[in-house]
Structure 1
Amino acid sequence: MDASTSKTEEVSGVDMFERFQRLRPPSFSGALDPVLAKHWLNRMAKMMRSLGCSDAQKVILATYAFEGEADIWWEGMLRRVSSDYEWTWTEKKRFNEKYFPSCYHHEKISKFLKLEQGNMTVPQSEAHFDELSRYVPKAVEDEEYKLKKFKEGL
């Protein structure tokens, strides 16, 4: 790689960082509340989509927002792999393993499967359905199944 290519990539990275900062990204300190962790990760993913980041940029920018315990955890992750390892956004599963444990995820799936309207209004029930359906994306990909499941809960 010649010097001009390196300089172009560096400027592009700096520009992306400035655009990211203008969005005022939320920091993440390692909250043990899975809802907060999932909310933070979803918000970051939304920002990354709006910026059109590469996979590598997503990791760099998101982990820049780590503070406190989360930053310590990330530094440990970096020490466990070789320095030339290329982190990708698909490895957000490591974040989920740490801050959104599978037992919590399974609890949300169970709540989705048992969801009933009860004393909620239809709009409240729909909002609750949509919120829980995020944890079972494969199940609600099929619009017909999704509608059937929603009607069963009414």
Structure 2
Amino acid sequence: MAMALNKMTDLLERVVNQSGSGVRPTHQCRDLEVGEDKALERFQKFAPPKFMGGPNPEIAENWLEAMVNIFEALKYPENRQVTFSVFQFEGPARSWWNMVKTKWEREQIPWTWTNFAYEFKEKYIPPLVREKKEDEFIRLRQGTSSVAEYETQFTKLSKFFPELVPTEQKRVKRFVQGLNLEIQESL
């Protein structure tokens, strides 16, 4: 009996020492889990698309844009944005992410959206494709398109190259330069 009491005393002493050394009580762990669950639930309400990977850069661009739009609405911290984004990966994309994750852990790379977007673009939107899109943006003209159609294409391409239109004034100037001459003259 004395031996059992000694063991219980030792056990209680260890529990007290652990809780004093930064180990969270069980209810705090559950609160964090519930918070994460609610955050994931809110994210899922936006019906984020799944991403399988593959060779089509337009699918990758659209997926990344959808994620950006969702996170702008949710205002989640960057590490949660990365975690919830990769939650949408399946198949080859999941395998690719597992390799990136291992590299990040080994090199202690922070889980930021900037780092994630860089890795994602390097893999799924290769430099050659980005160069082609940049050329397309530089050569973009209204031509036979309506002003609304031209504006849609201008906006779509310019978001990938903010350095080409770094200010609102330069953006407007570049937009006007692409309009048909008769419209430019009336402006």
TM-score of the pair, normalised by structure 1 = 0.88
Structure 2 unaligned segments of length 5 or more: list them. 1-21, 180-187
Is 1:36 aligned to 2:72, yes or no? no
For 2:126 and 2:157, locate their aligned partners in 1 and report how far apart those are by CA, in whole Å.
16
Q: Secondary structure at the match of 1:126?
A: helix
For 1:17 and 1:83, locate their aligned partners in 2 and report how far apart those are by CA, in whole Å.
27
Is 1:89 aligned to 2:113, yes or no? yes
Question: Which shifted more, 82-91 or 44-53?
Answer: 82-91
Structure 1 unaligned segments of length 5 or more: list them. none
Partner of 1:145: 170
Partner of 1:98: 123
Question: Which shifted more, 15-24 or 63-72?
Answer: 15-24
Q: Which runs of 4+ in 1 moved over 6 A?
A: none
Count of residues paired in the alignment: 154
Alignment partner of 2:103 out of 64, 67, 80? 80
Partner of 1:27: 50
Is 1:64 aligned to 2:87, yes or no? yes
Q: Which has the higher contact order (CA 8 A, sep 6+)?
A: 1
For 2:53 and 2:92, locate their aligned partners in 1 and report how far apart those are by CA, in whole Å.
5
Q: Secondary structure at the match of 2:53?
A: coil
Let me know the Cα RMSD of the aligned residues. 2.0
Between the aligned residues of both structures, percent identity stands at: 32
